[in-house]
Amino acid sequence: MGLLEGKEDLKVLVEKLNFKEKVERSKALISEAYKKYGDSLVVANSLGKDSVVVWDLAKRVDPKIRGFVVTTRFKPPETIKFMNEIVAKYPETKVYKSDAETPPELYKSDPDRCCDILKVEPVKRAIDEMGVKCWVTGLRCTEGRTRTDYKEIEERDAGLTKLNPILIWKEREVWQYLALYGVKVNPLYGEGYRSLGCSPCTKITTGDNERAGRWIGTSKCGGECGIHTRPLKSI
Ligand code: SF4
């Protein structure tokens, strides 16, 4: 049975598989999907720790695998510098950004709308322009309350498959991989952040919830920007 059939109980696998088995499983998932989708498989790199693990795994499967980054006018300078380093090293990474005008401090008054304009729209454009049939993400089911019901392979939009190859990894295993394989991360993690986003919507927190520092003080607190919850294909 191929891994892409997705028949296994992921909650069991989170606890049952050891680190090495998870690494092998993730690589096998990417490899199977790359055989199936070829160049229409593309990694969405958010520049966070989970994404850089997925990017590193994908490069081990095949150096030709392409990626895209969505950035916004509100990303911290450290993240922009980190993004520029990644793009210089991997020119097969395309950068997407929205220049649409937004009302002042829309991130305070309507963060969902702000994310729709600055994040979801550029992801849609990337998927369209790069001819993506399978996008690969760094989602993990242990990361927060909004991320518990995903599958390793899923089709939330008709004609667009989403592969979540490290879905069953724990936060500790992500750091284990980054340390063992010497993968560089955004230096903001060194300041104490556990989940990275735009400057006005990201704070350092110390509780158990990894995403608790996102959108503090809004209805979106600890939530999602929308790229994993909104439709991404217009047709
Ligand atoms: S994270 Fe904040 S600033 Fe960035 S797009 Fe979303 S609401 Fe706007």
Kindly give the distance from the C-alpha atom of residue 230 to the centroid of ligand 1, in angstroms, as a whole number: 15
Kindly give the distance from the C-alpha atom of residue 81 to the centroid of ligand 1, in angstroms, as a whole number: 19
**Residue 156 phi/psi, 5° resolution?**
-85, -25
- Domains in the chain (CATH in brackets) are 8-184 (3.40.50.620)
**Selected residue with higher pLDDT from 232 and 58:** 58
Alpha carbon distances (Å) from 114 to 20, 52, 109, 225: 39, 25, 9, 9
Neighbours of 108 (CB within 10 A): 12
| Strands, sheet with 93-97, edge to edge from the N-terminal-most edge strand | 93-97, 66-71, 41-44, 134-136, 160-163, 153-157
226 — pLDDT class (breaks 50, 70, 90): confident
200 lines ligand 1 (CB under 6 A): yes
197 lines ligand 1 (CB under 6 A): yes
Least confident of 55-59, 89-93, 119-123, 221-225: 221-225
pLDDT in tens, 114-157: 999 999 999 999 999 999 999 999 999 988 666 677 899 999 88
pLDDT in tens, 154-211: 998 889 999 999 999 999 999 999 999 999 999 999 999 998 999 999 989 888 788 7
227 — pLDDT class (breaks 50, 70, 90): confident
Kindly give the distance from the C-alpha atom of residue 201 to the centroid of ligand 1, in angstroms, as a whole number: 6
Number of H helices, E strands in the chain: 8, 6
Atom of ligand 1 nearest to the CA of 197: 1
What are the structure tokens assigned to 73, written together? 């006018």
Candidates 134, 141, 201, 225; catalytic one: 225
Whole-structure pTM value: 0.93
52 lines ligand 1 (CB under 6 A): no
Known catalytic residue at 198: no
pLDDT in tens, 13-54: 999 999 999 999 999 999 999 999 999 999 999 999 999 999
Say how many CA atoms lie within 13 Å of 21 toward its Cβ: 7
Neighbours of 15 (CB within 10 A): 8
Residue 177 sits at the vertex; the CA angle it makes with 153 and 204, to the nearest 5 degrees, is: 90
67 lines ligand 1 (CB under 6 A): no
49 lines ligand 1 (CB under 6 A): no
